[in-house]
Amino acid sequence: MKKVMKYAFMLIGAVVVMLGAFVLFIYVSDFPSYSVQIPSVNIDYTPSRVERGKKLASMLCVECHQNPETKQITGRLMFDLPPEFGTVYTKNITQHPTKGIGAWSDGEILFMLRTGIHPKTKRAVPPYMIKLPTMADEDLYSIISWLRSSEPMVQPLDVDNKQSSPSLLTKFLMRVVIKPFDYPTKPILLPDTNNSVALGKYLVSNLGCNDCHAADVTKVNALEIEKTPGFMGGGSNWTDVTRTTLYSSNITFDKETGIGSWSEADFRKAIKDGIRPDGRPLSYPMERKVQLTDSEINAIYAFLRTAPHLHSPHKPAEEFVIAKNASKGEQIYVRYGCQRCHGESGLGIGDLRQAHKKYPDDSTLTDVIKHSSKYYPETVMIQWDGIIKDDEYAPLCAHVRELGKKAEQAMVR
């Protein structure tokens, strides 16, 4: 018996040592490398492709890569990733030849977007970077055409890339769970726009809807989205600019916990204006998709109706802690969730720190908050008219101006 126990303890010890060695290997190693075969493509950067590419990139690339200070796609800190992934900075993808992707070939960009393998380092890119294995060739050509265009946002800018610090979980996922996609052997065509369900599935598959509204972001099935556990039932955790935890919503057609009671018009208003049927604004990180046409939104609605109805109650967001001596304006700022995008200091995904100079009178600043699309046609900011009460705008404007003054004082120091 003693001998059996001795061997058992030896076996357990060996397993612990091997497990420890494996964890140490994962911790100190980089992401795995793979073979690279760059496709030969010759893309014609037509105006129609640039326009289409701008539309797609604004929903896929700009959201993560645009820096609020440079206003270009020079990369930023990803506040809204689950903290389990570590500290993450997106890259400079302007046309700069060394800091950006200006020296990359069209085939290299295409290969990385399809497979998730960096064409230069030959290493897998992180799991939180969007991959587009099912996007039509034509749409990918359009995105690349926009990246090569004369658009101000993509022009070369000499901004260094900041190094990310991926967590042990991220490294484990990259080594064991998440693998790059194979480059397709056949052309991928655009969906039939006359088939609403097919078009809706294509949009849901390629606009990241599945990534956010899954139950677990580490188990998303990008090739067969309906096989994703908890498909469209929500529940995955994210963070806002302040690192406050929040959860994605159930957008299946369950009537009690999902959007089963929403009409097509309700759904369009939520996507286009950011307003739910009950008048409440959508919560960050869901942004208005002002780029989508009504027919595209209707197609997404049609496809979601075909998904299984999941009874999945929405988890309440973590409560943001506000200082006891907060001004009335700051209380209003937090009540409507402004800090989720703009941060406590006014600098987040959007930068408010110059608003006090840009809009010196409260009437104009109030109008910008109420009708931001009038001033910035492509903004994803909610149109707050009718949501924020009229008597709340004056203290809110005062708080925005205070943020700008504090930022100036900090720079002087």
> What confidence score (pLDDT) does residue 19 get?
61
pLDDT value at residue 81 = 78
Backbone φ and ψ of 195, nearest 5°: -105, 100
pLDDT at residue number 18? 61
* Contacts (Cβ under 8 Å, ≥6 apart) of 390: none
Which residue has tokens 């046309």?
95
Q: What is the pLDDT of residue 364?
A: 96
User: In the prediction, which pLDDT does 171 show?
Assistant: 84
pLDDT of 161 reads 95
Other C-beta atoms lying within 10 Å of the C-beta of residue 89 = 14
Q: Do residues 223 and 233 make contact, with C-beta atoms less than 8 angstroms apart?
A: no
Kindly state the tokens that stand for 367: 């109008």
Residue whose pair of structure tokens reads 């908890």 in the numeric block: 230
Closest CA to 336 of 196, 220, 240: 240
Longest CA–CA span in the chain (Å) reads 86
pLDDT at residue 23, rounded to an integer: 59
CA distance 110 to 147: 12
10-residue averages of pLDDT along the chain (413 residues):
58 60 62 92 96 96 92 91 86 97 97 96 86 96 98 97 89 84 96 96 94 87 93 90 90 96 96 91 86 97 96 88 92 93 89 90 95 89 92 96 89 66
**DSSP one-letter code for 194:** T
| E strand residue ranges, 31-136 | 86-87
For residue 314, with 0-12 CB atoms within 10 Å meaning exposed, 13-18 middle and 19 or more buried, which class applies? middle
Residues 6+ apart with CB under 8 A from 289: 59, 207, 271, 272, 297, 380
Element (H, E) at 238: strand 237-239
